[in-house]
């Protein structure tokens, strides 16, 4: 029934009124379509802004997690490096301890050898000194006997 009333309404209007009415109605429909497009555009723009903000937030979270993972990996690597350095350090300390012990033994041996050489030298000097004294006494006795 509503169509009949519109048809009757249009039939009762003059050509000029009908043209104005149809133009007005077309303008209103165009305005409604424009508003609808603007509403859709605004909705899409707002949705895009929200998505961009979510994207930034998610990117920040992902970066934070990624840095955490990288730090964890780096910590493991550094722990392994430290363990290998400790092992290397302990090996070098043991090697130097063995070298120092060896040098101390060599020094003790050379001190003992030096002490023996000095003892032998002193004994030789005493021997030759006694021989010299005996010889001098013998010569002095011979001289005094003459």
pLDDT digits (tens, 9 = 90+) for 80-122: 999 999 999 999 999 999 999 999 999 999 999 999 999 999 9
Q: Give the residue carrying structure tokens 């249009």.
A: 10
Residue 45 lies in a domain: no
Residue 125 lies in a domain: yes
Q: How many domains does the chain have?
A: 1
Nearest 5 degrees, angle CA 87-CA 70-CA 75? 25
Per-residue pLDDT tens over the stretch 20-38: 888 999 999 999 999 999 9
User: How far apart are the C-alpha atoms of 23 and 139, rounded to whole Å?
Assistant: 165
Q: What stretch of H or E contains 130?
A: helix 15-145
Residue 81 lies in a domain: no
Residue 133 lies in a domain: yes
């Amino acid at each position: 029934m509503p169509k009949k009333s519109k048809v009757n309404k249009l039939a009762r209007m003059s050509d000029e009124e009908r043209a104005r009415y149809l133009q007005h109605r077309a303008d209103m429909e165009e305005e409604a379509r424009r508003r609808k497009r603007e509403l859709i555009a605004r909705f899409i723009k707002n949705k895009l802004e929200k998505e961009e903000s979510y994207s930034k937030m998610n990117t920040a979270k992902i970066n934070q997690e990624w840095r955490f993972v990288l730090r964890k990996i780096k910590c493991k690597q550094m722990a392994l490096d430290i363990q290998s350095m400790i092992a290397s350090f302990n090996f070098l300390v043991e090697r130097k301890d063995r070298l120092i012990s060896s040098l101390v033994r060599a020094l003790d041996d050379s001190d003992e050898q030096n002490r023996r050489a000095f003892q032998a030298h002193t004994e030789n000097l005493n021997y030759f000194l006694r021989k010299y004294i005996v010889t001098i006494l013998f010569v002095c006795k011979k001289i005094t006997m003459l």
